[in-house]
């Protein structure tokens, strides 16, 4: 589950967490409304970027990018 607070965080998330800075200017994802409309495509992009990372590595990238985060266990 992901949620970003604003456009600054979106740009930072793309550049520093996904290592895909060009994604921030992709017209399909250029606003929160557009990201919601394209959520299935965006989900695939994010899952692909995270597929080679452990949860700890994702959390480390979020921390380094200064994006608030928390680990949630679903039992």
Rounded to a whole number, what is the distance in angstroms from the first to the last CA of the chain?
15
pLDDT at 57: 95
- Of 4 and 60, more confident: 60
Q: What is the pLDDT of residues 40-49, one digit of tens each?
A: 999 999 999 9
pTM of the model: 0.85
8 A C-beta contact, residue 38 and residue 28: yes
pLDDT at 17: 96
Q: What is the pLDDT of residues 17-75, one digit of tens each?
A: 999 999 999 999 999 999 999 999 999 999 999 999 999 999 999 999 999 888 777 77
CB count within 10 Å of CB 22 equals: 8
The residue ranges of every structural domain in the chain are 7-64
């Amino acid at each position: 589950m992901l949620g970003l607070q604003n456009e600054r965080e979106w740009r930072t998330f793309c550049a520093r967490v996904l290592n895909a800075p060009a994604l921030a200017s992709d017209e399909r994802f250029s606003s929160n409304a557009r990201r919601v409309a394209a959520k299935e495509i965006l989900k695939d992009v994010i899952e692909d970027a995270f597929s080679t990372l452990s949860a700890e590595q994702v959390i480390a990238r979020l921390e380094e990018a200064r994006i608030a985060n928390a680990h949630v266990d679903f039992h």
